[in-house]
Structure 1
Amino acid sequence: MNAPTGRRRAIAKALTALLPLAPYADMEKIRADAGAVHMKSLPPSIAVWLATIAHIRHVHTDYEKLLAEGYDRDSARFFVMEQTNRVLTRWRATRLLQDEGEE
Structure 2
Amino acid sequence: MAGTRRQQAIRKALRALVPGIPLSDAEAVMALAQQRHMRELPPSTALWLALGSHVRHVHTDYERLLAEGYDRDAARFFVADETDAVLAGWGCLRSVGEGEDDATG
TM-score normalised by structure 1 residue count: 0.90
> Which residue number in structure 2 is paired with residue 16 of structure 1?
15
**Cα separation, partners in 2 of 1:99 and 1:50, compared to 1, 3 Å:** closer
Secondary structure at the counterpart of residue 98 of structure 1: helix
Structure 2 residue 93 is matched with structure 1 residue 88: no
Any gaps of 5 or more consecutive residues in structure 2?
Answer: 100-105
> Which residue number in structure 1 is paired with residue 5 of structure 2?
6
Question: How far apart are residue 99 of structure 1 and its match?
Answer: 6.6
> Which residue number in structure 1 is paired with residue 41 of structure 2?
42
> Which residue number in structure 1 is paired with residue 102 of structure 2?
none
Q: Percent identity?
A: 55
Contact 1:17 / 1:94 at 8 angstroms: preserved in 2?
A: no
Q: CA RMSD in A?
A: 1.3
**Cα separation, partners in 2 of 1:99 and 1:40, compared to 1, 3 Å:** closer
| Aligned mates of 1:67, 1:17 — CA distance in 2 | 31
TM-score normalised by structure 2 residue count: 0.88
> Which residue number in structure 1 is paired with residue 57 of structure 2?
58
| Aligned mates of 1:44, 1:99 — CA distance in 2 | 18
Count of aligned pairs between the two proteins: 97
Structure 1 runs, 4 residues or longer, greater than 6 Å off: none
